Each structure stands twice: as structure tokens, then as C-alpha cells.
């Protein structure tokens, strides 16, 4: 959950090897697209968000796929940097880096509203819909694919994506293959033909 009162210091961006990453700032760029998500999650999210829109519930994607450098930056907030803890996981220990998790938010008149108490009816409806599509939810806003163990993903045992998963495979392979920072280095997946 974002905190407007947190000063954003210059983060340490990990060295990358191989093909250059996109020119987007990997720490501060917030991805709200479903394009690079696992196709099963992308399909479920589109259906859930469409239904919520029909019911006039203003829940939107706050952050979908998250770069590993951003995950590590968010992890430092509330620990080595001031502010409220933003996440309990470092890079590659979150399903966000695998394109299998998303954070949703209530957006009213263009502003994000993180008051989960006042918006509890909206979150309850989003949770019911997520469960209908086989998704798990944590907190109010975090939704992820269920039935997958992080240890399996770290060993490159990924869920099948079918022929609609090309963008997901490419993003995951690109970032996993270029990650060269302290801690865990993921196994880059082989991109299916």
C-alpha cells in the first residue's frame, strides 16, 4: 500500500547482464497492465473487474507485475528506510515477480482510497468474485493465483500458460535471466515454442 508521507531515497538498482531492460525506471514504475501476467490470472482479473464495474464498485488494478528491483525497494520501506512496511517479501519471494499476483485498489474520483474499513463491502465483493475464479486474497487488496508453491517457481516449475502466455513467458524470462543482485537468483524459464 502506498504511503504519500514516505520520502523516496535514491535506491540501489541491481546490475543487469545480457539484453538491456526497458528504459522504464524499474524501482518507481508501477505496472497496472494485465499483459505480462500469467494468462489465467489476467483472464480472472478482467472478468472480476468487469463485474465490479457493472456493480459500480470502483476497484482497479493498483499494481500487477512488479520488477524485482521495485520489490526490494518496497521491502526496505519501514525497515532500513522510514515509513510503514510496504511488503513482507524481497525480490523473487513474491508472486508479483512471477506475474501471478496483483494488488487492487479502490479508486474514487481519480484518487486511491486505502480505507479498508469504509470500503469493506467493496472488498468483500471483490473477494467473493476472486474465490469464484480460484484466486486467493491476502489483506484486502492482494490477489494471487492459488495452488502454487514459491519453491517450485524458484526451481522454474511454472504453471502451464498455453499459447496465450507468450508475453508472460518473455517478461519472466527476461527479468530472471538478467537479475544479478544479492540474494536469490531465479532460474530463467525456457520459452515454449
Please tell me the least confidently modeled range out of 95-99, 100-104, 127-131, 178-182.
178-182
Largest CA distance in the chain: 48
Q: What is the pLDDT of residues 46-75, one digit of tens each?
A: 999 999 999 999 999 999 999 998 999 999
Mean pLDDT, the chain, rounded, equals: 83
**Residues 183/90, Cβ–Cβ less than 8 Å:** yes
* Residue 184: predicted pLDDT: 67
Asked if CATH classification 3.30.1380.10 holds for the domain at 24-170, the reply, yes or no, is yes
Residue 2 CA to residue 154 CA, distance in Å, equals 27
* Residue 66: predicted pLDDT: 93
Please tell me the least confidently modeled range out of 11-15, 55-59, 96-100, 122-126.
11-15
Residue 23: CB atoms within 10 A of its CB come to: 7
- CA dist 111 to 33, 46, 124, Å? 18, 21, 20
Q: Is the pTM of this model over 0.95?
A: no
Amino acid at each position: 500500500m502506498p504511503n504519500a508521507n514516505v520520502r523516496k531515497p535514491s535506491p540501489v538498482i541491481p546490475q543487469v547482464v545480457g539484453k538491456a531492460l526497458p528504459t522504464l525506471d524499474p524501482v518507481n514504475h508501477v505496472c497496472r497492465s494485465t499483459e505480462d501476467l500469467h494468462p489465467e490470472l489476467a483472464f480472472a482479473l478482467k472478468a472480476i473487474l468487469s463485474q465490479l464495474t457493472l456493480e459500480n464498485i470502483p476497484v482497479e488494478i493498483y499494481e500487477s507485475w512488479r520488477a524485482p528491483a521495485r520489490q526490494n525497494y518496497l521491502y526496505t520501506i519501514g525497515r532500513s528506510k522510514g515509513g510503514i512496511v510496504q511488503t513482507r517479501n524481497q525480490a523473487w519471494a513474491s508472486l508479483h515477480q512471477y506475474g501471478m499476483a496483483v494488488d487492487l485498489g479502490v479508486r474514487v474520483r481519480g484518487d486511491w482510497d486505502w480505507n479498508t474499513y469504509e470500503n469493506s463491502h467493496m472488498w468483500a465483493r471483490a473477494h467473493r468474485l476472486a474465490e469464484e475464479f480460484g484466486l486467493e486474497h491476502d489483506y484486502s487488496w492482494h490477489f494471487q493465483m492459488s495452488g502454487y508453491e514459491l519453491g517450485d517457481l524458484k526451481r522454474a516449475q511454472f504453471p502451464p500458460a498455453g499459447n496465450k502466455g507468450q508475453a508472460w513467458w518473455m517478461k519472466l524470462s527476461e527479468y530472471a535471466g538478467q537479475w544479478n543482485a544479492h540474494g536469490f537468483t531465479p532460474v530463467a524459464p525456457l520459452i515454449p515454442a
